[in-house]
Amino acid sequence: MQLAGTLASLRRYPVKSMAGEDLGEARVTFAGLAGDRVFAFVDNRNQSNFPWMTARQGHDMILFRPRYLNPPSSEDEIPDPARYAMEVSTPEGRTFRLPGEELLHFLEQRYDRDLRLRFSERSMTDARPISLLGLATVSALSRETGVEIDPRQFRANFYVRWRKDTPYFEDTLVGRELQIGDTVAVQIVKRDGRCIMITLHPDTASASPVILEKVMREHTGCAGVYAAVLREGIVRTDDPVYLL
């Protein structure tokens, strides 16, 4: 094994397209991080292969803040379903419980959509179970665009500080395997195609379109990578990341 970097931060997103949370440690399963994107809202009128109601349609959706009431433990291989109960705070300070119908009706009125709530213990990610991004890539894009970009705009699970601090280093790892910490192993399977989400600041939902323009024009529309999980286990912030 070759030391490639360090897991600088670890994030999950309890509700798809809403605010994420930083974790000190998390269980990584073949389906992704335990508790990641377990709730999502489906737009019933959207007949495409991407039927989700997200901040693409309502930018301020990223300002809704979910909070597990009794979070699933990283020690639990199969968490009790009751551990996924959560409270969601709106940007205006109202709170709703999930599971439940009140937030669904609130979002339907707010965004003028016909929605349904979906739950799955398997993370409802866009493409693969895990997303990974190098912090050097964020810094490089900030320089390229002249915008101070918050790494959270990319909504990754693993943010890595590469040993050589090389921008876009993760792009060179497609097809390679990484070990994170003592146990977890992943294979980098593809680059992460991006959309308007990366332009939205996580604290204000204000948009900086130049970020996506730069990524589309000079980086083939991609920033970061997706990974499949080869070996389950627990990862922790500051864990070493090894190239296998």
Taking a C-beta distance cutoff of 8 angstroms, is the pair 155, 19 a contact? no
Query: Residue 78's pLDDT is what?
Result: 83
Query: Residue 90's pLDDT is what?
Result: 98
Q: Among 186, 181, 191, which residue's Cα sits nearest to residue 154?
A: 191
Query: Residue 75's pLDDT is what?
Result: 87
Query: Residue 231's pLDDT is what?
Result: 98
Taking a C-beta distance cutoff of 8 angstroms, is the pair 159, 192 a contact? no
Full-model pTM = 0.95
Measured CA angle at 71 (ends 65, 76), to 5 deg? 145
Query: Residue 60's pLDDT is what?
Result: 97
Q: At what angle do helices 209-218 and 135-145 cross, to 10 degrees?
A: 100
Rounded to whole angstroms, the Cα distance separating 194 from 154 reads: 9
Query: Residue 80's pLDDT is what?
Result: 86
Query: Residue 68's pLDDT is what?
Result: 97
Q: Residue 172, exposed/middle/buried by CB under 10 A (0-12, 13-18, 19+)?
A: exposed
Task: Write down the CATH superfamily of domain 2-243.
Answer: PK beta-barrel domain-like (2.40.33.20)
Query: Residue 49's pLDDT is what?
Result: 87
> Consecutive sets of 10 residues in the chain, 244 residues long: mean pLDDT of each?
97 98 97 96 92 96 97 86 95 96 97 96 93 98 98 98 96 98 97 97 97 98 98 98 97
In which residue are the tokens 């495409």 written? 48
Query: Residue 47's pLDDT is what?
Result: 87
